[in-house]
Amino acid sequence: MSQRSCLSVILAAGEGTRMKSAMPKVLHAIAGLPMMAHVVKAAEAAGATGVVLVIGHGADEMRKAVQKFAPKAETFVQEKRLGTAHAVLAAREAISKGYDDILVMFGDTPLIDAQALAAARQKLAEGAAVAVIGFRPPSPAGYGRLIEKSGHLIAIREEKDCSDEEKKIGFCNAGMMAVTGKHALRLLDKVGTKNAKGEFYLTDIVEIAGAEGLDVVATEESFESALGINNRAELAEAEAIWQARRRREAMLSGVTLIAPETVYFSHDTEIGTDTIVEPNVWFGPGVKIASGAKIRAFSHIEGATIASNCDVGPFARLRPGADLRNKAKVGNFCEVKQATIEEGAKVNHLTYIGDARVGAAANIGAGTITCNYDGYSKFFTDIGEGAFVGSNSSLVAPVSIGKGGYIASGSVITESVPDDALAFGRARQKTIPGKGKELRERLASAAAARKKAAAE
């Protein structure tokens, strides 16, 4: 089958009114990736050699998103929404290039998997002219019903056009289908508008192909993978299904999730074997974790690279550009942004490290802050190998601390510190014997005098 060329035509011209959103429906994200990009990925994984998106509502915004998330895809505009067959024909130019298979998909059906699409394409390879992806939803209301006769699909009837008898059929049209390229345009051009909605229905090509004596079949997929999204409740449902699949995949690939239902992955999270993820961890986009890491509870991680055997959290925040090398530690209430924490370095408590390098085996004390921003520009802090930064220090960038440098607690460091130097950046302590007692007595008698005056 892999030798057959395939064009995926993804319909995404709809408004998605029920999302109640200024943004086109198919740009709403699942696992941080717009729905339409999930659909494009599935099409590519099913062997699509060309991908086309039919857009309409919010065309400019759609084009930008396609450029960013699916740059290989071409867009065609459907000016008026006259039905699903009409929408497919908006891509006539691409279809007429002569592909073996045309895979029609919906931009709002993000959980469709490559196997379901490949199964439909397989039917074409075996000689069918059209293969429709069917499913059995808990309630068939609202879906087109698949009418079969001795293993062949003879018609798809939209709910509004169904007889009472046909409405009882539970096997429904998921919306997606594979059509052989050599027949596609001819079949689509024969579609009319004689139906309750007066639209050009893609589903009509089933009867049209049958009348030409061509073979039409249905495949069956799970309800989950054919779930169409119309509102934000369904969006959340799809997110939950996606996350459940991904968690399972992670666990089966050797990652321990102690409370899987509380860990959220991004569409692109990479996580190595023997990593342990404690409860309530959020992975935003762009996270890569090698093996043997420990990600402790309530950590929020995005755009970060975490090498082997690192220890992160609890309550750590790793932001884009955080680069933790082997055995680095970033502990509770620490934030790291655009910074490298080299091998074995420790940033354990209540610290902000931004635009910086923390050298191998350096130790950053509690409450250390890299002051990287003056309100206009960002500056770099370089901390050498084996340096020790005492608690509650402010490192005012640009500044560097040499290898083995030692910073006294509570310092405000504004000048670079050479290798192996000790730097104090704070006022010297003054201790006056007996002065504490004297002060306390003075304060007590003043308070007593005020109290007496108030009573008179």
> Residue 349 catalytic?
yes
Q: Is 54 in the site for ligand UD1 (CB under 6 A)?
A: yes
Question: CB burial class (10 A; 0-12, 13-18, 19+) of residue 376?
Answer: exposed
Residue 98: other Cβ atoms inside 10 A: 9
> Which entry of ligand UD1, Mg ion, none binds 334, CB below 5 to 8 A by partner kind?
none
Specify the stretch interacting with ligand UD1 by CB under 6 A; choose among 31-39, 170-178, 232-240, 366-374: 170-178
When the beta carbons of 27 and 87 are compared against ligand UD1, the nearer one is 87
Contacts of 237 (CB under 8 A, 6+ apart): 227
Contacts of 42 (CB under 8 A, 6+ apart): 105, 112, 113, 114, 117
Choose, by CB under 6 A, the member of 39, 202, 304, 413 that binds ligand UD1: 202
Across 30-56, b (16+ Cβ under 10 Å) vs e yields bbbbbbbbbbbbbbbebbbebbbbbbb
Spatial separation of the C-alpha atoms in residues 295 and 315, rounded to whole Å: 10
> Which entry of Mg ion, ligand UD1, none binds 203, CB below 5 to 8 A by partner kind?
ligand UD1
Among the listed residues 38, 57, 152, 349, the single catalytic one is: 349
Spatial separation of the C-alpha atoms in residues 103 and 180, rounded to whole Å: 9
* Minimum distance of ligand UD1 from residue 186's CB (angstroms): 18
When the beta carbons of 133 and 257 are compared against ligand UD1, the nearer one is 133
Specify the stretch interacting with ligand UD1 by CB under 6 A; choose among 106-114, 255-263, 365-373, 437-445: 106-114
Number of H helices, E strands in the chain: 10, 36
Q: Is 390 in the site for ligand UD1 (CB under 6 A)?
A: no
* Minimum distance of Mg ion from residue 228's CB (angstroms): 5
* Minimum distance of ligand UD1 from residue 301's CB (angstroms): 33
User: Contact at 8 Å (CB) between 102 and 181?
Assistant: yes
User: Which structure tokens are listed for 298?
Assistant: 């309530």
Q: Is 106 in the site for ligand UD1 (CB under 6 A)?
A: yes
* Minimum distance of Mg ion from residue 170's CB (angstroms): 18
When the beta carbons of 202 and 356 are compared against ligand UD1, the nearer one is 202
When the beta carbons of 112 and 339 are compared against ligand UD1, the nearer one is 112
Q: Is 84 in the site for ligand UD1 (CB under 6 A)?
A: yes
Choose, by CB under 6 A, the member of 110, 134, 144, 331 that binds ligand UD1: 144
* Minimum distance of ligand UD1 from residue 51's CB (angstroms): 15
User: Contact at 8 Å (CB) between 197 and 125?
Assistant: no
Tokens 């799970």 correspond to 222
Choose, by CB under 6 A, the member of 7, 8, 9, 14 that binds ligand UD1: 14
Residues 208-237 that bind ligand UD1 (CB under 6 A): 228
Q: Is the link from the previous residue into 314 a cis peptide, with omega within 30 of 0?
A: yes
Q: Is 101 in the site for ligand UD1 (CB under 6 A)?
A: no
User: Contact at 8 Å (CB) between 112 and 177?
Assistant: no
When the beta carbons of 109 and 394 are compared against ligand UD1, the nearer one is 109
Q: Is 143 in the site for ligand UD1 (CB under 6 A)?
A: yes
User: Contact at 8 Å (CB) between 339 and 306?
Assistant: no
Residues 209-268 that bind Mg ion (CB under 5 A): 228
* Minimum distance of ligand UD1 from residue 50's CB (angstroms): 18
Write the DSSP symbol of residue 273.
Answer: T
Specify the stretch interacting with ligand UD1 by CB under 6 A; choose among 75-83, 112-120, 147-155, 212-220: 75-83
Question: CB burial class (10 A; 0-12, 13-18, 19+) of residue 288?
Answer: middle
> Which entry of ligand UD1, Mg ion, none binds 201, CB below 5 to 8 A by partner kind?
ligand UD1
Q: Which of 134, 146, 104 is nearest to 221 (CA)?
A: 134
Binding footprint of ligand UD1 on the chain (CB under 6 A): 11-14, 54, 78, 81-84, 86-87, 106-108, 143-144, 156, 158, 172-175, 201-203, 228
Catalytic residues: 349
Q: Where on the chain is the footprint of Mg ion (CB under 5 A)?
A: 228
